[in-house]
């Protein structure tokens, strides 16, 4: 408010860093109203990090329902001001406690949002955090229970790819992830599917099948027939000369 009153400052925009759980816990709507009205330049970046409550528990984050409540209040405040402003979420892959099934659940949420994250943040251990302790020990220090930790580089690549499933370069990784999670129902042509099936009836596959079929019917190996034809051509050329 002091900055808004300053004659030397025209606009004060907040791009990220808002604790959406604190906003939801605030009984007064004033902060949300002024945030939306004065301090957003079209997009507000927030960090729900994940949609699986199990993963959010290990992250020390509030449940996914809290984030959904924030979005409803954010949209309501935008409608009241007549503005079209968006909340852009940050998500993280491969955090301790995140399984392939959790990664698929996050991919489905991204699908329903209708956008593809340009950048995916993969978990990276940093000193003096509970997440790093879980990453190296496989144990939650708060209760002493074991925690699944995705450390294999290939699995981490699968979890990243699932968040960007629309990228054709990620198709093989996404397919493998869906197979591991037992979610092949997400491969198809329906509106809820993440990827399409492979085109098995393409021109090249039909041609390859035809060649294999003819090769199976040969009484001689293809190499022997090739040599016999080559000799026959030489004999024919010699007779012409």
pLDDT confidence tier of residue 201, bands split at 50, 70 and 90: low
Residue 147 CB contacts under 8 Å (≥ 6 apart), including other chains: 58, 96, 97, 134, 138, 139, 140
- Kindly tell me if the per-residue pLDDT of 239 is higher than 80: no
- pLDDT at 212 (0 to 100): 45
Strands 43-49 and 86-93: parallel
- Kindly tell me if the per-residue pLDDT of 38 is higher than 50: yes
pLDDT confidence tier of residue 230, bands split at 50, 70 and 90: low
Rounded to whole angstroms, the Cα distance separating 135 from 89 reads: 24
Average pLDDT, the chain: 87
- pLDDT at 53 (0 to 100): 97
3-state SS of 228-241 is: HHHHHHHHHHHHHC
HSE, CB side, 13 Å, CA atoms: give it for residue 228.
6
- pLDDT at 47 (0 to 100): 92
Work out the angle at residue 199's Cα, subtended by the Cα atoms of residues 163 and 169, and round it to the nearest 5 degrees: 30
Lowest mean pLDDT among 61-65, 115-119, 126-130, 182-186: 115-119
Average pLDDT rounded to a whole number, residues 212-220: 48
Per-residue pLDDT reduced to its tens digit, 62-98? 999 999 999 999 999 999 999 999 999 999 999 999 9
- pLDDT at 215 (0 to 100): 46
Q: Is 24 helix (H, G, I), strand (E, B) or coil?
A: helix
Residue 51 CB contacts under 8 Å (≥ 6 apart), including other chains: 64, 105, 106, 109
Per-residue pLDDT reduced to its tens digit, 157-189? 999 999 999 999 999 999 999 999 999 999 999
Rounded to whole angstroms, the Cα distance separating 76 from 82 reads: 10
- Beta carbons within 10 angstroms of residue 130's beta carbon: 14
Asked if residues 122 and 115 have their Cβ atoms less than 8 Å apart, the reply is no
- The top-scoring range by mean pLDDT among 3-12, 115-124, 176-185 is 176-185
């Amino acid at each position: 408010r002091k900055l808004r009153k300053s004659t030397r400052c025209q606009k004060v925009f907040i791009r990220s860093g808002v604790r959406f759980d604190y906003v939801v816990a605030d009984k007064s709507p004033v902060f949300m109203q002024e945030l939306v009205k004065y301090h957003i330049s079209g997009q507000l970046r927030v960090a729900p990090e994940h949609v699986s409550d199990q993963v959010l528990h290990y992250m020390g984050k509030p449940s996914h329902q809290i984030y959904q409540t924030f979005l409803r209040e954010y949209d309501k405040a935008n409608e009241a001001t007549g503005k079209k402003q968006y909340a852009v979420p940050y998500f993280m892959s491969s955090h301790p406690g995140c399984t392939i099934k959790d990664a698929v659940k996050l991919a489905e949420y991204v699908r329903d949002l209708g956008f593809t994250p340009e950048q995916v943040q993969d978990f990276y251990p940093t000193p003096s955090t509970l997440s790093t302790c879980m990453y190296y020990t496989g144990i939650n220090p708060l209760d002493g229970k074991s925690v699944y930790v995705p450390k294999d580089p290939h699995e981490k690549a699968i979890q990243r790819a699932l968040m960007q499933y629309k990228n054709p370069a990620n198709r093989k990784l996404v397919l493998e992830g869906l197979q591991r999670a037992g979610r092949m129902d997400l491969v198809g042509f329906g509106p809820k599917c993440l990827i399409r099936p492979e085109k098995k009836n393409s021109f090249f596959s039909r041609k390859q099948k035809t060649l294999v079929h003819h090769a199976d019917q040969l009484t001689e190996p293809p190499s022997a027939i090739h040599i016999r034809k080559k000799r026959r051509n030489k004999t024919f050329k010699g007779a012409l000369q």
